[in-house]
Amino acid sequence: MYKSLLIIPGLLACAVAQANDALSLADTVVTASRQVESRSESSAASTVFTRADIDRLQPQDLPDLLARVPGLNVSRSGGTGSLTSIFLRGTSTTQTLVLVDGQRIAGASAGFSGLEYLQIDQIERVEVVRGGRSALYGSDAIGGVIQIFTRRGNGQGLSPRVSIAAGNYGTWRRSAGLSGGDDRTRFNLSAALDENDGFERTNLPGSEDSTYRNKSASLSFSHQLTDSIEFGISGMHQEGKSEYDYNLSPAAFAYTDFSISSAQAYLQVQATEVWRTRLEAGHSEDRQESFDPYGGSVFNTYRDQINWLNYLTLGNGQNLTAGLDWYKDTLHSSNDFTKTSRSNKAAFIQHQFDSERFGTELGLRHDDNQQFGSNNSWNAALTLHVNQANDLILSYSEAFRAPTFNDLYYPDDCYPGFGCTIYADPNLKPETAKSYEAQWRSQLSDSARLELSIYRIDLTDAIVTNSALDGNQAGSPNPFQMTNIDAARINGFEAVYSQKLLDWQGTVSYSLIDARNRSGGGADGNRLARRPKNSLSVDLDRQFGDWSVGAGWQLASDSYNDLANSREIPGYGVVDLRSSWQASDNLRFNLSVKNLLDRDYYTAGGTAYDTSFNQVPFRYEEGGRTLLLGVTWTPQL
């Protein structure tokens, strides 16, 4: 017995070390169950990009990286730094939860997360969990969860890095960082500045080049006080300016000053051999001030968050996760919202079991929101280990999204003699969804893996405008007012094949998404806007000693810009090339070419108004061929 007790401190220290190192591993995932687990053992479909993947793929920004995720479509309002929408498994942007180091970052007004502003050099790791996870995270996790982890120290002394890159469209990127540590302490400091002169983001007459500027900084620090106690802090700040065309014809000049930041601190204690507890406290801000020909607007979100997580290893393949979450949103705006703050408190529990033949997962969460009341979410999964190389996973989940401040409290516009335009409805109910999924995972060989998934999502009480319900704005009462409807049925299929052979590394992913409106009225049965039915992503890389070359190919079928399916967005295919040269131990050169064939394509459109107040449809342009040459210096100290 005494000898067994002597072993416990070593086991606890090992557990803490594994948690620290997990962010560098491609075969682990943290977001799926709010703790470190093997991707092959997790019941959730997931995609993970490590820092090594980011360096290899050389994405121009975070949305460019996310476009490789199966079942995730990206829609931009005109290039880098423009308003970006994501559609994960056919759900809307606000139906995907986005976290930075565990902190919610979406604005409380419209519910967007500002992914276009998150500087790629500040990111250590990106995890995308596909499928409803409200049983663990609560609101917004209908389509899934995207979690971004900021840069971390490697625990191997001091490691400085400096990089600079230049390209066409007046693009300049500079970044610098210092990371390091030892077995007990790790830290990272980073700063970056991105600038470009841009291009004409729309095809409206009078459109001009829209510049973009983003300066950012991040910090992380962790220290192991004892073999069983660890604490840490992390923070990220982005701020800058993004210009765009205002929706007039001819186009008018407009811009947004933005600032997105998050900070968190945690204390983790391995209390016993079977019980680990973690307390997190964080604060995030999303501040945006826009200027256009009619004046300006301010929408600033401030969010405080506290999480208490507990992990129990019960033995015999059983694990239990339980915790409490609390967060409060406060909105400061130039518009006179009827309410400007609300809080949410929740408790959750999830049990996992795994044996030689099968595994199970069962989770339940209860949310109590200050505005809309209570909501229960749960999920269940059954994993059948067909043999050593093949798994069949059947799962069911329920998820929800709380209405935003814009949905509930946006002020009416009233003009003497013309009446009022009503936007919000304080009686809206949360959106809810039921998801059914079957996955097949096959380890074909030591270097080849195939993952298949088929799913269905039934979405009810979706929040849309009255005009979307009718498919005819002119015939809608209060056409801009938000309302609850039975909205959508989404059927989907995903296939991912990855292979490493000799010095080649390749990944192919295909998605089929049939997302249909089921609200009744003129748009019933139509495809949901901006969701291509078919999409394909291919990445292939080869190492030649100190040289590496790679190519990416992305294809998407046609989609529609509106629920009425009257404005088609043509399908497109884009080819990218990349190369790097490790000139020495501490000097690397990178070259990337985006849209090699200079294709003219777009993923979103809009409606402008001419001087006679007639509606003029337009499209948001994507950039043409883009070249970027960079150098990274990592001197040894």
Mean pLDDT of 242-262: 94
Residue 502: predicted pLDDT: 85
In DSSP notation, 23-80 reads GG-TTEESTTTTS-EETTT-SSEEEEE-HHHHHHH--SSHHHHHTTSTTEEEEESSST
Residue 209: predicted pLDDT: 93
- In Å, the largest CA–CA distance within the chain is 88
Residue 468: predicted pLDDT: 60
pLDDT tens figures, 159-202: 999 999 999 999 999 999 999 999 899 999 999 999 999 999 99
Residue 518: predicted pLDDT: 87
Angle in degrees, CA 440, 41, 113, rounded to 5: 90
pLDDT class of 469 with cuts at 50, 70, 90: low
3-state class (DSSP) for residue 4: helix
Q: Which of 6-10, 115-119, 147-151, 205-209 has the lowest mean pLDDT?
A: 6-10
Q: Which of 41-45, 463-467, 530-534 has the lowest mean pLDDT?
A: 463-467
Reported as type and span, the H/E element at residue 530 is: none
pLDDT class of 458 with cuts at 50, 70, 90: very high
pLDDT tens figures, 323-341: 999 999 999 999 999 999 9
pLDDT score of 10 more than 50: no
Q: Would you say how long the chain is, in residues? A: 637
Residue 474: predicted pLDDT: 43
pLDDT class of 462 with cuts at 50, 70, 90: confident
pLDDT class of 467 with cuts at 50, 70, 90: low
Going from the N-terminus, what domains does the chain have, and what CATH number goes with each? 2-633 (2.40.170.20)
pLDDT class of 405 with cuts at 50, 70, 90: very high
Q: Which of 447, 426, 560 is nearest to 507 (CA)?
A: 447
Residues facing residue 460 across a β-bridge: 432
Sign of CA dihedral 425, 428, 430, 432: negative
Mean pLDDT of 86-103: 96
What is the DSSP pairing of strand 318-333 with strand 341-354? antiparallel
Mean pLDDT value across the chain: 91
Find tokens 């001819």 and name the residue: 250
The verdict on pTM exceeding 0.85 is: yes
Residue 373: predicted pLDDT: 84
pLDDT class of 473 with cuts at 50, 70, 90: very low
pLDDT class of 9 with cuts at 50, 70, 90: very low
Residue 496: predicted pLDDT: 98
pLDDT score of 15 more than 70: no
